[in-house]
């Protein structure tokens, strides 16, 4: 009897889509795969903003524990949910090709500029909140948690004038036809890692690393490495409004980063271009530059006073 290769995943529709995609790619190589559904802290706490209950790691901690104690052989995460520092003993076995990293506005057809001055927009992301407030200070932001179906249902029930979701998740679930507007990066810089998957495994598990290696997409891996360098420099979490997106072009990697205060009245952005082989160092350098330009004061204030408004 052949032992199945076990993949740990959350049980949401999007997480299962992502895990099943990885499963299908491995099965093409003749590998027997079993999905192991694991409930995380973030799945259990749905009535409190993420920024108030611990930030990043809420959707990965229990799965990482299962990986480390051998209950699963690999784990599939949304990259934007992964803390800037992986637990000791865990590495990325593969970073597959990224889906579109941008955010999407769903508003029953209206574009962002066409929404009423006091439109009520639903999102639980501080990053989205501050960029929306910066663009239109009069709008009202309301906390919105839950899976994609839950959020879309609340919009359709009239609880919001619009909601903002990651375009990648909508595409993967076949719900992108409901998008009213794909938000340009000049309005909404994406979350670090948005649209990408991180397939984690144990560092010393050579057979698993060899199985996962064909799924790695080097340009995406390089871009994510740069973005996570920025996240590390800023020690980012869901408690802090941080955004970042890297892309490879003409043999270089260009990384744009953003830090804002909670009101969206101060938004600090910058970008650097450098050697793809030093992507992580590029991210660190951009983080230090943002700190020099004032991001450090913002981060310190949030650290002292919290992220609630």
296 Cβ partners below 8 Å, 6+ apart? none
CATH superfamily of 1-96+196-216: Periplasmic binding protein-like II (3.40.190.10)
pLDDT of 146 reads 84
pLDDT of 302 reads 84
Of 189, 185, 274, 182, residue with least CA distance to 225: 274
- Domain locations in the chain? 1-96+196-216, 103-183, 217-299
The pLDDT tens digits for 100-158 are 999 999 998 999 999 999 999 999 899 999 999 999 999 999 989 888 999 999 999 99
Conformation bin of residue 225: beta by default, left when phi > 0, alpha when psi is -120 to 50 = alpha
Contact by Cβ (8 Å): 103, 127: no
Conformation bin of residue 251: beta by default, left when phi > 0, alpha when psi is -120 to 50 = left
pLDDT of 51 reads 53
Query: How many Cα neighbours within 13 Å face the side chain of 16?
Result: 9
Contact by Cβ (8 Å): 235, 218: no
Contact by Cβ (8 Å): 174, 68: no
Q: In which order are the strands placed within the sheet that holds 242-249?
A: 242-249, 252-260, 267-274
Asked if the model's pLDDT at residue 294 lies above 50, the reply is: yes
pLDDT of 309 reads 47
36 Cβ partners below 8 Å, 6+ apart? 6, 7, 8, 9, 66, 71, 72
Asked if the model's pLDDT at residue 239 lies above 60, the reply is: yes
The pLDDT tens digits for 147-196 are 899 999 999 999 999 999 999 999 999 999 999 999 999 999 999 999 99
Q: From 3.40.50.150, 3.30.70.260, 1.10.10.60, 3.40.190.10, which CATH number describes the 103-183 domain?
A: 3.40.190.10
Of 82, 6, 5, 70, residue with least CA distance to 37: 6
Asked if the model's pLDDT at residue 215 lies above 60, the reply is: yes
Q: At what angle do helices 148-156 and 13-27 cross, to 10 degrees?
A: 140
Question: What class is the 217-299 domain?
Answer: alpha beta
Mean pLDDT within 272-277:
98
Contact by Cβ (8 Å): 293, 239: no
Q: Assess whether 81 carries a catalytic annotation.
A: yes
Q: For the chain, how far is it from start to end, CA to CA, in angstroms? A: 57
> Which one from 81, 103, 161, 205 is the annotated catalytic residue?
81
* Identical fold, 1-96+196-216 and 103-183: yes
pLDDT of 40 reads 82
Give the whole-angstrom CA distance, residue 226 versus residue 266: 24
Mean pLDDT within 51-58:
58
94 Cβ partners below 8 Å, 6+ apart? 199, 212, 213, 214, 215, 216
């Amino acid at each position: 009897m052949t032992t199945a290769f076990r993949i740990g995943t959350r049980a949401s529709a999007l997480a299962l889509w992502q895990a099943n995609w990885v499963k299908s790619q491995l099965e093409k190589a003749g590998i027997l795969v079993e999905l192991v559904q694991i409930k995380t802290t973030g799945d259990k706490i749905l009535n409190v903003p993420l920024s108030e209950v611990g930030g990043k790691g809420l959707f990965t901690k229990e799965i990482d524990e299962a990986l480390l104690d051998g209950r699963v052989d690999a784990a599939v995460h949304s990259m934007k949910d992964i803390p800037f520092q992986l637990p000791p003993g865990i590495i990325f076995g593969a970073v597959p090709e990224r889906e579109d990293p941008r955010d999407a506005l769903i508003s029953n057809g209206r574009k962002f500029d066409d929404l009423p001055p006091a439109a009520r927009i639903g999102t639980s992301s501080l990053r989205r909140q501050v960029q929306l407030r910066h663009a239109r200070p009069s709008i009202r932001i309301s906390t919105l948690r839950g899976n994609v179906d839950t959020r879309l249902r609340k919009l359709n029930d009239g609880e919001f004038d619009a909601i903002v979701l990651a375009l990648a998740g909508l595409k993967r679930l076949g719900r992108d036809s409901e998008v009213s507007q794909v938000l340009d990066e000049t309005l909404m810089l994406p979350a670090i890692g948005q649209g990408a998957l991180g397939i984690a495994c144990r560092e010393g598990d050579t057979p698993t690393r060899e199985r996962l290696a064909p799924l790695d997409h080097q340009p995406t891996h390089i871009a994510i490495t740069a973005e996570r360098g920025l996240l590390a420099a800023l020690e980012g979490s869901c408690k802090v409004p941080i955004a970042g997106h890297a892309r490879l072009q003409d043999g270089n990697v260009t990384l744009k980063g953003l830090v804002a205060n909670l009101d969206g009245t101060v938004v600090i952005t910058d970008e650097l271009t450098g050697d793809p082989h030093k992507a992580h160092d590029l991210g660190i350098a951009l983080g230090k530059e943002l700190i020099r330009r004032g991001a450090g004061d913002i981060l310190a204030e949030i650290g002292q006073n919290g992220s609630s408004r």
